Amino acid sequence: MTGRFGPPRGSEGAPGDEPPPEDGSPPGTGPGRSRRSRLFAHLSLGARSVAGQVFALQAVLVLVLITAAATALFFQARYDSQRDARNRSLAAAEAFAHAPGLPAALESADPTAELQPLAEGARRASGVDFIAVMTTDGIRYTDSRPELIGHRATGDLSRAVAGQPFTETFEGKPSDVVRAVVPVRDSTGAVVGLVATGIEVANVGDGVEGQLPLLLGAATAALLLGTGGAFLVSRRLRRQTRGLGEAEMTRMNEHHEAVLHAVREGVLIIDAEGRLLLANDEARRLLDLPADAELRHVGELGLDPPTAALLASGRAATDEVHRAGDRLLAVNVRPTKPYGGRPTGTVTTLRDSTELAALSGRAAVARDRLQLLYDAGVRIGTTLDVVRTAEELSEVAVPRFADFVTVELLEPVLRGEEPGGGTHTEMRRAAICGIRAESPLQPVGDVIRFVVPTAPMATALDAGRAVLAANLNSAVGWRAQDRDGTRVALDYGLHSLISVPLQARGVVLGMANFWRADTPEPFDEEDLSFAEELAARAAVSIDNARRFTREHAVAVTLQRSLLPRVLPDLSAVDVAFRYLPAKAGVGGDWFDVIPLAGARVALVVGDVVGHGVHAAATMGRLRTAVHNFSTLDMPPDELLGHLDELIDRIDQDESSADEGAGDGESAGVTGATCLYAVYDPVSGHCAMASAGHPGPALVRPDGRVEYPELPIGLPLGVGGMPFEAVELRLPEASRLVLFTDGLLEDRDRDFDTGLALLTEALSRSDRSPDQACSDVLASLLFPAPSDDIALLIADTRRLPADRIAEWEVLPDPSDVSRVRRAGSAQLTEWGLGEVTFTAELILSELITNAIRYGTPPIRVRLLRDRTLICEISDGSSTSPHLRYAATTDEGGRGLFLVAQYAERWGTRYTDRGKVIWAELPLAGGAEPAPPAVVDLEALEDLAW
């Protein structure tokens, strides 16, 4: 069989088979012979191949499409040209009809003479073929053809006369035109004339015909490109089909069908709509498909619902096990690649895995157990609470491992103490959890006794490992322990038990019992190791919680011993406080109220970073240091500066000690803040300074809450920057509120939100300090605060003016007597005659020494508070010192006498000098007996 234009397809065309050339030259040597042979071979190959048939079809389709496109473009161009002519005509007519002066020209004696030049100029400028100005009857005043002037225009002009512009394709004399007619209106809006413009249809056609070469050229180019594209597609298809014809492709399809139906794995091809396109013989056998299954929806094939849902969903799957009758099939689903813009379908393979079912079940159980152990590691021990940890153990095992779980702990463990060794026969139930709320087991809080050695619980404790009682009906020891209770439990349905001791570091902490009731399968030997692993993890968490409980108790005890238990009763302030340690661990917050000389009082709050015993101990050291520094009567900023230096020295010393010890754990102060305020009830002034601590709240007598601007210095121990103090004048009956940041902020609330709540809680002015503390905690307290809370509320008072007496002292020893007599008179007026002698003695001594060793100005002030306070101030910063005078010394006994007669005495420095003060009791009972004869005048000559 020969080809259409050459040798048979597949033949190489031997030279001996070729006819000789007409010019007598040898075969295959004529000019262009090789090129023509290859071309004919390609054409022959393409004519019978699928690629050739596709090329012919595409070429015809391209020719038809291009012809249709060219025709459509021609008519579209004609339509566009006519539409453009209409738009241009209408625009020209509208422009001319609205030209200024046109109505007046129409009313003139000779409208043609005035309008004809204007119309011709407008026509040439706009590019239209004519512009005619007419009367409402259609009589032309102007026209591009002068012979038509004075003649009536043809056509229906009624719409324009009625005031409506319009366009039309007009067929008439002298030629067909695309015409637009627009009315001309005068100033009153009446139509006084018409303007008609137009373009002749012949001119429009000329424009379209001018585009024909371009359209034909574009069509020719598109034809060439389309034919070339079809050729390229056909060549690529010929390469992909390897030049196969219909017969060869049929044989290949038969081969593929044979292979597809011979494999021992089911194959399904499903389209995007869920219809079955192909199913091989194995798939029909595994799924028991009907003969007409193809092209039906998978939901109509009678498959198992989960299997049908998977096949219809189109989602990918790997070795999912589905049931098909009595078989278990491993199903794999993969999407097909999109082709020709069609939505993707899926190819599904099925494999009979019935024999692997048992193995898969065991693997699933093992996987679930591993997941349960992982969940136990995450869920057990989330809090450092012993009882809560026991509850978490019971909750994580129900219902995935047991139907009921009970946990018993030793009494010392519940208290956070170290459990003792030996045999444990009593424990307290700490947790119970089950699939139902009611159960026959003893409730939480009951004491559980193990009195029968053969009971599973006692055996597990004795052996130190888990014990299985697979059938509780035959567990004689368990039934003997409590015959009535065990009968109720058996009637309830409990039938299997595993008892596991909770051990950590080789010490028994308690017992965990796993029970089954509703689950029909009893526990087996494989469950023992899992129960031991679960209990071991829980035991470590319980031991950690126990140790934390012990440390927490120690820290709380230490902290409470270091904090003030009772605040001093002072005239300057009425104070109430609240202190709450954090639930997660005791921190280092503290507060204090320290009496100072001159009826003043110091209010202190502070916060040490961290929790635990170390933070509590650090807090105690700082509080002691503040007490010691306050006795020196320093200003707040200087006191914080000395405290900062002290902490820096402590850190350096302890860091050196830690490096020498090599334990890698520093016991230094990791950070601390402090707010120190001093209130003077005589002047009403309050001086305060802060070392990284939030400032106080000031509640004025009318209930307004303010937060004074206070320079917040660096925290203590940072060093390098001085502290800054501010002084406020407080109105009488003001309230100062000092607090730590744990009151305001937490994980779920920021500082500003807490400050707003505090302001609202303090706005009530009719509450006592103690009631105000309760209001603040009720508004701001967290259910489980993560930080300590210290709150100190002080209502300020002023010392009445009638309890204050002051005198200026001249720098002359003779003025001492005057001041002493004035002081004696004031004491008599106050009803303090019993202490008059002692007060005169102290005043004489202190005033004399101020005159002798001090500098002016010298002032004396008596304050009647809970004690009598004598203050002598001068402008010198020289500090007196108490000493023993020798028998040969002429002076040096003055301060000794003051110390003997006064309850307390001391010196405080001011900005411009010092104040020496002494306090005397208001009653004279404790006063030492005076000498038989005391010469007060002689005492004035005694030296310091």
Closest to 310 measured CA to CA, from 326, 329, 294: 329
Residue 9 has pLDDT above 70, yes or no: no
State residue 312's pLDDT score.
87
* pLDDT tens readout for residues 484-499: 888 999 999 999 999 9
Dist CA 64 CA 162 (whole Å): 50
* pLDDT tens readout for residues 866-891: 889 999 888 888 777 666 555 444 45
Average pLDDT over residues 176-202: 83
Show the tokens assigned to 825. 């008179």
Q: Cβ of 376: how many Cβ atoms within 10 Å? A: 22
Residue 799 has pLDDT above 70, yes or no: yes
State residue 734's pLDDT score.
92
* pLDDT tens readout for residues 735-777: 999 999 888 887 778 888 889 999 999 988 788 999 999 999 9
* Cβ neighbours for 787, distance < 8 A, ≥ 6 positions apart: 582, 587, 589, 740, 741, 742, 746
Dist CA 261 CA 282 (whole Å): 7
Average pLDDT over residues 811-821: 87
The CA-to-CA distance between both ends of the chain, in Å, stands at 147
Kindly write down the DSSP assignment for every residue of 836-898, as one continuous string. Answer: HHHHHHHHHHHHHHHHHHS-S-EEEEEEESSEEEEEEEES--PPP---PPPTT-SS--HHHHH
Confidence of residue 207 (pLDDT cuts 50, 70, 90): low
Residue 841 has pLDDT above 90, yes or no: no
Point out the least confidently predicted range of 74-83, 443-452, 679-688: 74-83
State residue 845's pLDDT score.
84
Residue 516 has pLDDT above 70, yes or no: yes
Point out the least confidently predicted range of 26-40, 280-294, 593-607, 872-886: 26-40
Q: What is the DSSP letter of 280?
A: -
**Choice between 771 and 70, residue whose per-residue pLDDT is larger:** 771
Q: Using DSSP, how many helices (H) and how many strands (E) does the chain show?
A: 25, 31
| DSSP collapsed to 3 states, 129-166 | CEEEEECCCCEECCCCCHHHCCCECCCCCHHHHCCCCE
Residue 12 has pLDDT above 80, yes or no: no
Q: What is the CA radius of gyration of the chain?
A: 56
**Choice between 805 and 262, residue whose per-residue pLDDT is larger:** 805
Dist CA 672 CA 641 (whole Å): 13
Confidence of residue 31 (pLDDT cuts 50, 70, 90): very low
Confidence of residue 725 (pLDDT cuts 50, 70, 90): very high
Q: Cβ of 671: how many Cβ atoms within 10 Å? A: 17
Q: In what order do the strands lie in the sheet with 573-580?
A: 573-580, 789-796, 735-739, 697-699, 705-706
Average pLDDT over residues 289-300: 87
State what percent of residues in the chain have pLDDT above 70.
80
Confidence of residue 43 (pLDDT cuts 50, 70, 90): very low
Point out the least confidently predicted range of 10-14, 163-167, 541-545, 669-673: 10-14
State residue 890's pLDDT score.
46
* pLDDT tens readout for residues 563-593: 777 778 888 899 999 988 776 666 678 899 9
Residue 698 has pLDDT above 90, yes or no: yes
SS3 204: helix
State residue 847's pLDDT score.
86
State residue 689's pLDDT score.
95
Q: CA angle, 782 as apex, 778 and 785 as ends, to 5°?
A: 130
State residue 730's pLDDT score.
93
Question: CA 407 → CA 284, 427, 565, 566, distances in Å?
Answer: 56, 9, 39, 43
State residue 931's pLDDT score.
41
Average pLDDT over residues 198-212: 65
Element (H, E) at 183: strand 177-185
Residue 23 has pLDDT above 60, yes or no: no
Show the tokens assigned to 391. 């509850």
For the chain, give the mean pLDDT: 79
900 within 8 A of 920, measured Cβ to Cβ: no
State residue 638's pLDDT score.
92
Q: What is the DSSP letter of 746?
A: B
Show the tokens assigned to 81. 């040209």
Q: CA angle, 711 as apex, 707 and 713 as ends, to 5°?
A: 130
Average pLDDT over residues 369-396: 85
180 within 8 A of 90, measured Cβ to Cβ: yes
**Choice between 831 and 225, residue whose per-residue pLDDT is larger:** 831
State residue 700's pLDDT score.
92
Q: Which amino acid, one-letter code, is at 184? A: V
Confidence of residue 933 (pLDDT cuts 50, 70, 90): very low
The single residue listed with the structure tokens 């239209």 is 128
Dist CA 253 CA 246 (whole Å): 10
* Cβ neighbours for 162, distance < 8 A, ≥ 6 positions apart: 191
Residue 634 has pLDDT above 70, yes or no: yes
Q: Which amino acid, one-letter code, is at 506? A: G
Strand partners, 330: 321, 351
Q: CA angle, 668 as apex, 665 and 673 as ends, to 5°?
A: 135
Confidence of residue 161 (pLDDT cuts 50, 70, 90): confident
